[in-house]
Every structure is written in structure tokens, then in C-alpha cells.
Amino acid sequence: MEIDIKKPILDRNDRLAQDNRALFDEKGVFVLDLMASPGAGKTSTILATIDALRDRYNIAVIEGDIASKVDAEKISAHGIPAVQINTGGACHLESDMIQRAIAALDMDALDLIIIENVGNLVCPTEFNLGEHAKVMILSVPEGHDKPYKYPNIFQIAEAVILNKYDTLSVFDFNEEEFRSVVTSLNHEAPVFAISATKGEGVDAWAEWLTDRIEALKSGS
């Protein structure tokens, strides 16, 4: 007999995720789950996204880390509400963690919540948080072969951000092959090449996100 110990955990997580999603929809708050490996530039991408959208939307951030509150402090320093979740060793966020985090936010005053998941290319893919979209960030220095090694995260992502694009000439990164493999895994996900710290390419990404936010607000 084979016992799947993950199933009860995932079933409970999915039930709580449904509750989260119902609340997000009721409040008209678009929730984005950002996934990436450590060092890909999740926080810098969040800050660039905030800069692009803060004049139009009220934004909050939920920061997921194994330990520390460094990233939440960076976000708060920009005048954005930030809630830190320390998982104590867990390699991903779960729906119950998100429930506790949103209890600390004024949901009636928000349009967008960005969740920075724990830096990992495997575990976060299995856990629904109730988000409206999962987006994956890959940085150029990580290499163009990551879609071969971690196909699932590219398959479930609704968009892919290729960060640190300004370093393309420095690293052996085959952009054509990368885009081809991503398309073969997920032909609907657009790829946005950006340099988050310089603000380059962020407008196209922000426009995609704006369209999704407005679709939620209009009920379409």
C-alpha cells in the first residue's frame, strides 16, 4: 500500500485558498504570486512594479522568507504596507499563512497585493494561495537552461519575467533558445525582458498587470 502524505496537506491548503480567493474577489483586490530562485531579483522587481503603478493603485506586499525581515523593511521604506511571513524553514508559502497576513491589511483600501514567495523553483508551484496569477522571474545570470531543469514552474506561470536583461552581453545566455523552450512549455505566457533596478522594460510588464487588475475590477 502506498500512502500519499502530501494529499491531506494539499487538500486543506486548497480549501483555504478558495476562501482567500473569495475574499480577494469580494474586495476587488488583485493578488499576484511572484516566484523565483534566490537572487533573481524578486524584491527589485516588486519595487519597480510599485514605482510604475503606485500613482494609479493602492498596493501592499506580503513578503515570504525562511527568516529575517529585510525585504519587508525595503518595501516599507517606500511607503508601501508590507507584512513579513517567516516560514521557519519551509520552502514555500501556504494559504493559511496568507490568511494571517491579510488580516493585518486594510483590504478595503487596496487594489493590488503582491506576494513575494520564498526563493525556490519547486515547492511554491504546488501550493495555491488563492492568487489571481502566478508569475515567474528568471534572471539572466541563472542561465537559459532553467526551463529544462524546472519545467513545472514555467508551465504554471501566467507570465515570465526575464530580469537583469542589461547583463545579457556578459553571460552565456541564449535568449532565442530560452524563449523557444518557454513557449513549448507554455505558449500562452508572455515573456517580459526587464532590468528592474534600472526600470528598463518595466512598462510592458506593468501594462500587462494593469490589464489584469482592471479585468478583475470590471468583473470580466
Chain mean position to CA 82: 15
Cell representation of residue 176: 532565442
pTM: 0.92
Q: Which stretch of DSSP H or E encloses residue 45?
A: helix 42-53
Cα–Cα distance between 20 and 88 in angstroms, integer? 22
Do residues 47 and 131 make contact, with C-beta atoms less than 8 angstroms apart?
A: no
Cell representation of residue 202: 518595466
pLDDT (tens place) for every residue of the chain, 220 residues total: 443 445 666 788 899 999 999 999 999 999 999 999 999 999 999 999 999 999 999 999 999 877 677 788 999 999 999 999 887 767 789 999 999 999 999 999 999 999 999 888 888 888 899 999 999 999 999 999 999 999 999 999 999 999 999 999 999 999 999 999 999 999 999 999 999 999 999 999 999 999 999 999 998 6
Q: How is the chain split into domains, by residue range? A: 13-218
Distances (CA, A) of 71 to 78, 114, 131: 11, 13, 20
CATH topology (fold) of 13-218: Rossmann fold (3.40.50)
